[in-house]
Amino acid sequence: MRARLLLCGFLMCLLAWPAVSWGQDAVVVYSSVDEENAKKLLDAFTKATNIKVRFTFLSSGPAVARIEAEKNNPQADLWFGAPSENHVALKEKGLSQAYVSPNAKELAAKFKDPDGYWTSFYMNPLGFASNLTVLKQKSAEPPTSWADLLKPEFKSQIQIPSPQTSGTGYNMVAALVLIMGEEKAFDYLKKLNPNVQTYTQSGTAPSKAAAIGQAGVGIQFTPAFLQLMGEGYPLKVTFPKEGVGFEAPAISILKGAPRVELAKKLLDWFITIPGQNALTDAKTFFFPVHPKAKLMEGLPAFDQIPTINYDAVWAGKEKKRLVDRWINEVLRAQK
């Protein structure tokens, strides 16, 4: 019996030590970029540098939870993707480490932490995608304002990512607070609640629901909308005239990263012109942040979208409080 217990304990130790299997020749990534685009981009990095990548997809909420759970024995080297305010929160928790890439000097200040704790590598505006077939059946027009979403014809027709689990969902809440002021924003979200069919766990789920007609309107960042339109789905993308937030997903090197030098090389490459052009070459529908990188054909000019002056640092610091308020006052409200 004693021998059996010792053997079982030995096997459990092996199972609890996944980092051993990665080796030191591959950088390990927790990615909050959708799996399809993450694979295309990370494959481009490997092709350009011969550095192998192992990645696991995690939405922003689960990613932070996992990084925090592993802080005494980090399994990954960096966090790849999720709006930059989530990386601000990671910095505040002491879960990332500073690294100022020599290539970051080409980026605008809003796309990097001044101390080097995170660096953005693309950006996308939030938008609405309407299924024209569904809206025609309901005699509704595609919404062009936040106010339009409150119309009775949109009852139980809107899908939005949950700010509890999705950086996209939180970006929407934070943007509304900046546009309307906090009290008016939460009053608006309570009024919107009856028209919300579901709050999705993933930031990209609303696009799929709108494409197949499960929902009349999906709200999220635009890349998946634009891709699905190109595939022939009956979608129309609109932007709220009162203003809209945008994401600037970032890369953070994790504190205690086992392969920190490989992690630095990955961050360095993604903000070079070749790394930025990979966004377009891979047909991600992402907007590059390097001013000299090429823009994918078919993308709307970013300066023609009514984006607000989004304060990612403020949003990161206020995240827990605003998400808790959303849970208590909006999610738990009776529809």
This prediction has a pTM of: 0.78
Picking from 63, 77, 205, the residue whose alpha carbon sits closest to that of residue 129 is 205
pLDDT in tens, 194-230: 999 999 998 899 999 999 999 999 999 999 999 999 9
Stretch (H or E) spanning 2: helix 2-15
Quote the crossing angle between the two packed helices 35-49 and 273-281, to the nearest 10°: 140
CATH topology of domain 17-123+248-300: D-Maltodextrin-Binding Protein; domain 2 (3.40.190)
Question: Is there a common fold for 17-123+248-300 and 125-246+311-331?
Answer: yes
Separation between Cα atoms, residue 102 and residue 267, nearest integer Å: 10
Mean pLDDT score across all residues of the chain? 91
Task: Using alpha carbons, select from 52, 43, 227, 198 the residue that is nearest to residue 127.
Answer: 227
User: CB burial class (10 A; 0-12, 13-18, 19+) of residue 292?
Assistant: exposed
Q: Per-residue pLDDT tens for 34-72?
A: 899 999 999 999 999 999 999 999 988 899 999 999 999
Q: Please, are residues 153 and 137 in contact by the beta-carbon 8 Å criterion?
A: no
Q: Which amino acid is at 290?
A: H
Q: Is 99 exposed, middle or buried (0-12, 13-18, 19+ CB in 10 A)?
A: buried
Q: CA Rg, the chain, in Å?
A: 21
Q: Helix/strand/coil (H, E, C) string of 261-304? A: HHHHHHHHHHCCHHHHHHHHHCCCCCECCCCCCCCCCCCCCHHH
For residue 323, pLDDT over 60 is answered with yes
Condensed to tens digits (0 to 9), the pLDDT of residues 260-313 reads 999 999 999 999 999 999 999 999 999 999 999 999 987 887 778 999 989 988
Instruction: Give Cα separations from 19 to 10, 29, 33, 325 (angstroms).
Output: 16, 12, 22, 37
Statement: residue 18 has pLDDT above 50: no
Give the number of other CB atoms < 10 A from CB of residue 293. 20
| Selection from 278, 257, 260 nearest residue 269 by Cα | 278
Q: How far is CA 76 from the centre of its chain?
A: 18
Helix axes 167-180, 84-92, angle to 10 degrees: 100
Domain spans in the chain, listed from the N-terminal domain onward: 17-123+248-300, 125-246+311-331
Look up residue 122 and give its two tokens: 């693309």
- Residue 11 pLDDT greater than 90, yes or no: no
Distance separating alpha carbons of residues 117 and 97, to the nearest angstrom: 6
Pick among 3.40.1280.10, 3.40.190.10, 3.40.50.2300, 3.40.50.300: CATH of 125-246+311-331: 3.40.190.10
